[in-house]
Amino acid sequence: MSIKSFFNFFKTKTEEDKRLISFINLMTGAKPFNLNIYKLALKHSSVAEKTPNQSFKLSNERLEYLGDAILGAIIAEYLYKKYPYKDEGFLTEIRSRIVNRESLNNLSRKIGLADLVEFEGQKYARTYQSMAGDALEAFIGAVFLDKGFYFCKKFVLKRLIQPHLDIEKIVQTNLNFKSMLIEYAQRENKEVEFVLVDEKNNKGTTIFTVEVMLGGESVGSGMGQNKKKAEQAAAEKAFANLQIKKD
């Protein structure tokens, strides 16, 4: 920690700052060196501020990009060592299941991080479906910048993954709802179609809405930040609506 950072840490803190410091300490096992970077990690693009040179808006999106890469590397190494006799396809699939948006959204809510995100009004919460998971990736990026890679790695594995995710259950569960729905349709001799019904841009974020048609009837719809995610969400909803049992 630099001398400037040391003295800045002990400046008078607001009650909100103190609550955030307590959360960071509880989650990571250490108080932050640079509190501002964690504040930025919790700032959604809907409340972003212009940078001094007006080149881009200041939100958690850059930290999200960094955290996504760091998290992917940590999980990749973890799985590589945990499953020494599994091939690349298996490792890639399991990593994808661990870091997919639904998994990260759920994990962010479980640890209470989602409740700390600053965004524009509750009425937009449905639109910002990936907000909780995005904030978790940004938070991981903040930990990496504040404490370094090895501290961040320990935080991710010891305080996020191992306590909250059952890796063996993830391995044994097929979460590709689209593939499973296609297989179901083939067994039932019905045609399945994924139809893009809406595409909206909200403050720089594009949200796709896909509807699943099975035998000419709508059986579910879902939203996502790309067509693939929207199709998966729609297929999962169709599974629930049709009460199809997963293998």
Residue 68 annotated in active site: yes
In terms of C-beta distances under 8 Å and separation of at least 24 residues, what long-range contacts does 6-9 make, across chains too? 9/33, 9/35
Residue 134 annotated in active site: no
> In this structure, are 70 and 140 located in the same domain?
yes
Q: How many folded domains does the chain comprise?
A: 2
Average pLDDT rounded to a whole number, residues 169-194: 83
Catalytic residue among 137, 146, 211, 236: 137
> In this structure, are 129 and 188 located in the same domain?
no
Task: Give me the torsion for CA of 50, 41, 36, 43, rounded to 10°.
Answer: 40
Tokens representing residue 61 in the block: 């999106």
The CATH number assigned to the domain holding 207 equals: 3.30.160.20
Q: Which of 152, 172, 192 is the last residue of a domain?
A: 172
The CATH number assigned to the domain holding 19 equals: 1.10.1520.10
> In this structure, are 168 and 181 located in the same domain?
no
Instruction: Name the phi and psi angles at 226, rounded to 5.
Output: -150, 170
Residue 10 lies in a domain: yes
> In this structure, are 161 and 222 located in the same domain?
no
Residue 247 lies in a domain: no
> In this structure, are 116 and 221 located in the same domain?
no
User: Which has more pLDDT, 10 or 210?
Assistant: 210
Q: Which of 33-42, 50-59, 93-102, 219-228 has the lowest mean pLDDT?
A: 50-59
Opening angle at CA 222, ends 218 and 224, nearest 5: 150
- pLDDT-derived band at 96 (thresholds 50, 70, 90) equals confident
Nearest to 102, CA basis, from 143, 69, 132: 132
Decide if pLDDT at 15 tops 90. Answer: no
- pLDDT-derived band at 53 (thresholds 50, 70, 90) equals low
Q: Which of 149, 172, 195 is the last residue of a domain?
A: 172
pLDDT tens digits for range 115-130:
998 887 654 554 456 8
> In this structure, are 124 and 212 located in the same domain?
no
> In this structure, are 29 and 151 located in the same domain?
yes
Tokens representing residue 111 in the block: 């640890």
> In this structure, are 143 and 181 located in the same domain?
no
d(CA 100, CA 35): 27
Pair 240, 220: CB distance under 8 Å: yes
> In this structure, are 38 and 132 located in the same domain?
yes
Instruction: Name the phi and psi angles at 180, rounded to 5.
Output: -65, -35
Residue 65 lies in a domain: yes
Q: Which domain holds residue 42?
A: 3-172
> In this structure, are 162 and 206 located in the same domain?
no
- Beta-carbon contacts of residue 111 (< 8 Å; ≥ 6 apart): 27, 160, 164
Pair 237, 221: CB distance under 8 Å: yes
Catalytic residue among 64, 68, 211, 231: 68
Q: Which of 137, 172, 207 is the last residue of a domain?
A: 172
29 dihedral zone (left: phi>0; alpha: psi -120 to 50; beta): left
Residue 90 lies in a domain: yes
> In this structure, are 30 and 60 located in the same domain?
yes
Residue 194 lies in a domain: yes
> In this structure, are 47 and 154 located in the same domain?
yes
